Amino acid sequence: MAGPVQINIPSIIINGAGASDEAAPQAVRAGLKRVLVVSDPFLVEQGLPARIADQCRQAGIESHVYGGVTPEPTDVNVEEGLDILGKTGCDGVIAVGGGSSIDVGKGIAVMAANDGPLSEYAGYHRIPRPGLPLFAIPTTAGTGSEMTRVTVITDTRRNVKMMMLDAHLLPTAAFVDYTLTLSMPRPLTANVGVDTLTHGIEAYVSRKAGTMTDALALSCVGLVGRHLVQAWKHPGDHEARKGMMEAASLGGMAFANSSVCLVHGMSRPLGAVFHLPHGLSNSVLLPAVTRFSVPAAPDRYAALARKLGWAGEGDDSQTACERLVDGLQKLNDTVQIPGLRDCGITQEALTAALDKMADDALASGSPQNNPRVPTADEIKSLYLEAY
Ligand SMILES: NC(=O)c1ccc[n+]([C@@H]2O[C@H](COP(=O)([O-])OP(=O)(O)OC[C@H]3O[C@@H](n4cnc5c(N)ncnc54)[C@H](O)[C@@H]3O)[C@@H](O)[C@H]2O)c1
Ligand SMILES: [Fe+2]
């Protein structure tokens, strides 16, 4: 028997239409006096961060906005936000946006209480002190970052996407308001939706999976099976958007307490080198990596195929696994995820980056959680297979 496992999820989760309006009252309850709202330029232009900041002001809390988060965020974003936080004396952070804004919010909240540098905290359980209270309001469905003790920040000196996992990164409260995702355009819905699916799949097949994370992971995958294509086809469908938002949060709870595996291990270097969005870099790898991994855990992958509705109870594991691999490719095609070669990457550039990407993938630790643990050469072949 394996030893006990630690599960971390936010202690306050408010789920449903209008949940984001609860952030200001909860900030009052938490005793916050001055909050920094962290978001990105697009959302600033749309007005959501200002709305949250206004609600805080009306509730008697001073608020400031850092709106400079870039997609696939960097240590520079954390430093910029930290600078404003220091100058304004904020005692809490409200991150509003996709995984990028929430991850930067996490970085700012912990760096307010730790000496750093941030790169010293890459890896597992390395952050010495708890950070400031952090509220997370996701607008994509999504990374699940609102539920996770994980942040992913690019180290601009080494051009490496650093993954940090530590209970001190966990949001104090998550506000899961699917209505904020109604505005997502189709390519974003597709990218982040397949990221969610990848979280559910990897959490379930991981060597670190357990009874509690299995329940979360299977719920996530089932919701994606029911709602992703519908949300992509009909962006205004509330039921589908709600299903995907909840899938994203469940997926976050699952993978952060189990783990991600080879897809995420390989997608981070791909994103760092070629500047692909996180969801897209996972999606292009998911079918090939699943094909590679299935033989090491056929019953687990078969259960996923059934949960997605792509195989029936009567199908044996081998058939169900074949359906899964085919289904993942078909899903990519349906929601128009381009292949790697259509992402502006030449075969020469990919080949030239293979050694670094395989080394960085293995160094992240994620491939070692995969049911089938690859060698560096196998990782390189998988990148080429996905091309
Ligand atoms: N911490 C974690 O647990 C975790 C898990 C998975 C991924 N990630 C990280 O999350 C980041 C990706 O986050 P993401 O995929 O959510 O995208 P994102 O936050 O980078 O946002 C992508 C774009 O979508 C826009 N956008 C956000 N919400 C929108 C909405 N409702 N309507 C229209 N446009 C909207 C943003 O302005 C931005 O331009 C990556 O850096 C990835 O590594 C973190
Ligand atoms: Fe992810």
Residue-wise pLDDT for 160-199, tens only, equals 888 899 999 999 999 999 999 999 999 999 999 999 999 9
Is residue 283 in contact with ligand 1, taking CB distance under 6 Å?
no
As a CATH number, domain 12-181 is 3.40.50.1970
48 touches ligand 1 (CB under 6 Å): no
Model confidence band, residue 32 (pLDDT cutoffs 50, 70, 90): very high
Does the CB atom of residue 103 touch ligand 1 within 6 A? yes
Q: How far apart are CA 376 and CA 275, in angstroms?
A: 22
Does ligand 1 have an atom closer than 6 angstroms to the CB of 246?
A: no
The whole-angstrom distance between residue 300's C-alpha and the CA centroid of its chain comes to: 22
Average pLDDT of the chain is 96
CA distance linking residue 67 with residue 60, whole number of Å: 22
Pick the CATH number of 186-386 from 1.10.357.10, 1.20.1090.10, 1.20.272.10, 3.30.479.30: 1.20.1090.10
DSSP-based helix, strand, coil % in the chain, nearest 5: 60, 10, 30
Whose atoms come closest to the Cα of 69: which ligand?
Answer: 1
All structural domains of the chain with their residue ranges = 12-181, 186-386
DSSP string, 212-270: HHHHHHHHHHHHHHHHHHHHHH-TT-HHHHHHHHHHHHHHHHHHHHS---HHHHHHHHH
Q: What is the pLDDT of residue 208?
A: 96
Check pocket membership of 42 for ligand 1, CB cut-off 6 A: yes
Round to whole Å and give the CA distance between 289 and 79: 35
Span from the CA of 311 to the centroid of ligand 1 (angstroms): 31
pLDDT band (50, 70, 90) for residue 1: low
Position 335 scores a pLDDT of 97
How far does the centroid of ligand 2 lie from the alpha carbon of residue 152, in Å?
Answer: 10
Q: What is the pLDDT of residues 239-279, one digit of tens each?
A: 999 999 999 999 999 999 999 999 999 999 999 899 999 99
Task: Decide whether any atom of ligand 1 lies within 6 Å of the 366 Cβ.
Answer: no
Q: What is the pLDDT of residues 88-107, one digit of tens each?
A: 999 999 999 999 999 999 99
Give the residue-averaged pLDDT of 60-84.
Answer: 97
Contact 340, 350 (CB under 8 A): yes
174, 281, 372 from 64: Cα distances, Å: 20, 33, 47
Average pLDDT over residues 122-137: 96
Give the integer Cα–Cα distance in Å for 157 and 175: 34
**Spatial distance between the Cα atoms of 160 and 119, rounded to a whole number of angstroms:** 10
Q: Whose CA is nearest to atom 21 of ligand 1?
A: 98
Q: Are 264 and 285 in contact (CB under 8 A)?
A: no
Looking at residue 363, the DSSP 8-state letter turns out to be H
Q: What is the CA radius of gyration of the chain?
A: 20
Q: CB under 8 Å to 381, separation ≥6 — which residues?
A: none
**Beta carbons of 178 and 242 less than 8 angstroms apart:** yes
CB 145 within 8 A of CB 169: no
Q: Give the ligand whose atoms come closest to the C-alpha of residue 49.
A: 1
pLDDT tier at 222 (50, 70, 90 boundaries)?
A: very high
